[in-house]
């Protein structure tokens, strides 16, 4: 089990919040409308089936994922139920299309949104902790929730059960709020490394 002190948990939350805040301002500037992004909750689960997301196993979700390597390694994912992803993209693009799947261009737009958020989260962690992280280009996938993590290309998670850090993210746009998730899928070793780095950083900063 992942054991984090309250302060460690809080530190990770704050790093993520900083990243998400930056992402929100980038997005807001791009779409020329206010975009607020908050992270109401962060949780750690050892099995995907324990997550809130897995409550609707057959729901189709749109996901943008980027793998990352560095002191800790894994895959970061922005996940929305497909309907929400439509709402999100269309309210960002300010168009109303009566189509119930994403067009190719909308899919690419969602990929960019995911890229901005995931980069910001990873960048914030990397920047504050002073450890460089390499990221891959984002990829898009559309699946049923239960198959979300199947045959993913996350390196380092092979053979070991991944541990998930799940962020519940909430977009607050002009018209509506759209809820999604950011998943960090790592193996136990990586998450322990992350905790170690946080501890070291806290120790250094606070003497």
Partner 1 sequence: MTKLQSEKKSPSPSFDLNRDSDAADLFAALLDTADTGLIALAPDGTICHWNQWMQSRSGKDADQVMGKALQDVFPDTKLGRVSLAIEDCLKFGMPAVISPSLNQGALPLRPLPQFAASFDRMEQSIRVHPIKTKRNGTLCSLIIRDVTLAVQRDRLLRQQAAELADLVTQTKRSEGRTRAILQNTVDAILVASDDGSIEPLNARAQELCGPTGDPELRNIIRFLLPDSEHTPLTPPPPNRLLTDLGTGVIEVLASTLSGRNVPLEVAISHFSADQRYHYIITLRDISQRKRHEKEIQRTMQELERSNAELEQFAYAASHDLQEPLRMVSSYTQLLARRYEGQLDDTADEFIHYAVDGTQRMQRMIDDLLTLSRVGRHGKPFNPVPLDSLFDAIVTNFKRAGSAPEGNIIREGILPTVMGDASQLLLLFQNLVSNGLKYSDPTDGQVRIFASETPDSYRIFVADNGIGIDPQYHETIFEVFKRLHGYGDYAGTGIGLAICKKIVDRHGGSIDVTSEPGEGSTFCVELPKELPIVAAGESM
Partner 2 sequence: MPNTKSVLLVDDSKFARLLVKAFISSNFADWQIDEAEDANKALEMVEAKTYDYMLVDFNMPGMDGLELGEKLRGRFPEAVIALLTANIQQEIQNKAERLGLDFIPKPPTEDKIRDYIASREATR
- For partner 1, the binding residues (CB under 8 A) are 26, 29-31, 66, 89, 92-93, 95, 97-99, 103-106, 108-109, 111-113, 115-116, 119, 122-123, 126-127, 132-138
Query: Which segment (11-19, 142-150, 161-169, 178-186) binds partner 2 by CB under 8 A?
Result: 11-19
CB count in 10 Å sphere of residue 163: 23
Closer residue to partner 1 in complex, CB, 100/150? 100
The single residue listed with the structure tokens 């960002």 is 92
The single residue listed with the structure tokens 């995907």 is 48
Closer residue to partner 2 in complex, CB, 71/123? 123
- Considering the rule CB under 8 A, would residue 139 count as an interface residue with partner 2? no
CB count in 10 Å sphere of residue 152: 18
Query: Which segment (17-25, 89-97, 107-115, 179-187) binds partner 2 by CB under 8 A?
Result: 17-25
Subset of 24-43 contacting partner 2 (CB under 8 A): 24-25, 28-29, 34-36, 38
As measured in angstroms, the least distance from the Cβ of 104 to partner 2 is: 29
User: Contacts with partner 2: how many residues (CB under 8 A)?
Assistant: 28
Identify which of 35, 67, 36 has the alpha carbon closest to the alpha carbon of residue 185: 67
Coil, strand or helix: which one is 35?
coil
- Considering the rule CB under 8 A, would residue 84 count as an interface residue with partner 2? no
Alpha helices in 50-187 (DSSP H): 82-93, 104-129
Closer residue to partner 2 in complex, CB, 14/144? 14
For residue 181, what are the β-bridge partners? Answer: 79, 168
Closer residue to partner 1 in complex, CB, 16/45? 16
Alpha helices in 94-187 (DSSP H): 104-129
- State the Cα–Cα distance between residues 51 and 48, nearest whole angstrom: 5
């Amino acid at each position: 089990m992942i054991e984090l002190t309250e302060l460690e948990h809080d530190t990770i939350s704050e790093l993520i919040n900083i990243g998400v805040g930056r992402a929100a301002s980038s997005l807001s500037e791009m779409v020329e409308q206010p975009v607020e992004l908050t992270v109401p909750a962060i949780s750690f689960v050892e099995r995907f089936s324990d997550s809130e997301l897995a409550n609707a196993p057959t729901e189709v979700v749109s996901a943008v994922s980027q793998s990352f390597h560095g002191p800790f390694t894994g895959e970061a994912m922005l996940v929305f139920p497909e309907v929400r992803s439509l709402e999100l993209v269309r309210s960002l693009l300010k168009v109303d299309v009566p189509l119930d799947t994403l067009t190719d261009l909308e899919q690419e737009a969602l990929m960019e949104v995911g890229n901005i958020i995931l980069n910001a989260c990873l960048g914030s962690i990397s920047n504050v902790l002073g450890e460089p992280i390499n990221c891959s280009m984002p990829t898009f996938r559309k699946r049923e929730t239960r198959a979300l993590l199947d045959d993913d290309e996350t390196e380092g998670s092979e053979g070991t059960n991944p541990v998930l850090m799940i962020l519940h993210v909430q977009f607050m746009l002009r018209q509506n709020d759209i809820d999604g998730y950011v998943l960090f899928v790592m193996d136990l070793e990586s998450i322990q490394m992350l905790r170690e780095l946080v501890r070291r950083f806290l120790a250094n900063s606070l003497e």
